[in-house]
Amino acid sequence: MADPRIVTVTGAAGHIGYALLFRIASGQLFGPDVPVKLNLLEIPQAVHAAEGTAMELDDCAFPLLSGIDIFDDAAKAFSGTNVAYLVGARPRTKGMERADLLEANAGIFGPQGAAINAGAADDVRVLVVGNPANTNAVIAQNAAPDVPADRFTSMMRLDHNRAISQLAHKTGAAVSDIKNVVVWGNHSADQYPDVSYATVAGRPAADLVDDAWLSEEFRPTVAKRGAAIIAARGASSAASAANAAIDHMHSWIHGTPEGEWVTAGVYSDGSHYGVPAGLSFGFPVTSADGEYHVVDGLEISDATRAGIDHNIEALREEYDAVKALGFIK
């Protein structure tokens, strides 16, 4: 068997961690032949709870799980890491907007980026889940000058999956019949879910749904789904977030099917759709040979342009705010 891949999960004792770790350990990320070693990073107060999760992982007797270590020190937790899930953060609670979380979370992601820079494996892939995910990814990436910037990504896949499900419900199609939705921009209520290029069982989605549904139902439902889950559950999405985190990394590692894209928050180099360099932006992406590539050349309608521009502004504001706080050089 191959050497184990090292996966570090921060916030391992939290809700998403609990839904994510068992799936990784069972082989759903790398496949049935690749052993996995799990590094769990927590704050000192939550290490004991992480030990409980580790005991349960043990009790599953997963054949692919070669070991589990628990840390409260980022430098140790990211040593040799191939895949880093940066989940640990302060979750948004009822009535709170993501901007409120910027300052609380900015201090977490800089040191973790620095630890990744210092000790992670050369092929490290990072997915930032903790909110505000896009800007936290920028903070971590800025603290890791020796790691290629495109290895830092942010999670837009939950928004992408939500968009697929809403379109499937509306059209009566199977989820597997929906291709090429995209959610541009920020993982926040600013995001722009877009079906302009989507197909439903091979037919253009635009022929099957009308503009009123798109603007009054589809886009608000997808963009505000996180808040709706919090209102219903009294806690933010956890199992669906973990599922999207598996999907994001799986597509990155194993590739996307021919002619299909997914949405990922990826580092903007300034060359795609007018998005400034340095932001982590939700784009349509394909994956091949272990790399995500932005799908270029799509025809952009006025409405989509406005949606993209709105997200550029929103992410720039977050960027400027953390820069003013000194978290970005």
Ligand X SMILES: NC(=O)C1=CN([C@@H]2O[C@H](COP(=O)(O)OP(=O)(O)OC[C@H]3O[C@@H](n4cnc5c(N)ncnc54)[C@H](O)[C@@H]3O)[C@@H](O)[C@H]2O)C=CC1
Annotated binding-site members for NAD(+): 11-17, 105, 112, 129-131
Rule CB under 6 A: say whether 189 interacts with ligand OAA.
no
Rule CB under 6 A: say whether 89 interacts with ligand X.
yes
Rule CB under 6 A: say whether 82 interacts with ligand OAA.
no
**Residue 165 contacts by C-beta under 8 Å, 6 or more apart in sequence?**
175
Residue 229 contact partner, candidates ligand OAA, ligand X, none, CB within 5 to 8 A by sort of partner: ligand OAA
Q: 6 near 37, Cβ under 8 Å?
A: yes
Task: State which residue has the least CB distance to ligand X.
Answer: 14
Query: Least distance to ligand X from the beta carbon of 226, Å?
Result: 6
Query: How many CB atoms are located within 10 Å of the residue 260 CB?
Result: 12
Question: Is 160 among the catalytic positions?
Answer: no
Rule CB under 6 A: say whether 173 interacts with ligand X.
no
SS (H, E, C) 282-298: EEEEEEECCEEEECCCC
Considering the candidates 160, 187, 248, 272, report the single residue annotated as catalytic. 187
Q: Distance between CA atoms of 305 and 99, rounded to whole angstroms?
A: 23
- Give, in order, the Cα–Cα distances in Å from 66 to each of 4, 58, 96, 102: 7, 10, 40, 36
Rule CB under 6 A: say whether 131 interacts with ligand OAA.
yes
* Of 80, 102, 81, the residue nearest 90 (C-alpha): 102
Rule CB under 6 A: say whether 158 interacts with ligand OAA.
yes
Query: Least distance to ligand X from the beta carbon of 278, Å?
Result: 19
Q: 99 near 132, Cβ under 8 Å?
A: yes
The footprint of ligand X on this chain (CB under 6 A) covers a number of residues equal to: 28
**170: phi then psi, degrees, rounded to nearest 5:** -65, -40
* Of 166, 174, 156, 178, the residue nearest 285 (C-alpha): 156
Query: Least distance to ligand X from the beta carbon of 108, Å?
Result: 4
Q: Which of 7, 9, 38, 87 binds ligand X (CB under 6 A)?
A: 87
Of 89 and 209, the one with the shorter C-beta distance to ligand X is 89
Query: How many CB atoms are located within 10 Å of the residue 171 CB?
Result: 16
Of 226 and 307, the one with the shorter C-beta distance to ligand OAA is 226
**Catalytic site residues?**
187
Which residues contact ligand X (rule: CB under 6 A)?
10-11, 13-17, 41-43, 46, 87-89, 91-92, 108, 129-131, 133, 155, 158, 187, 236-238, 241
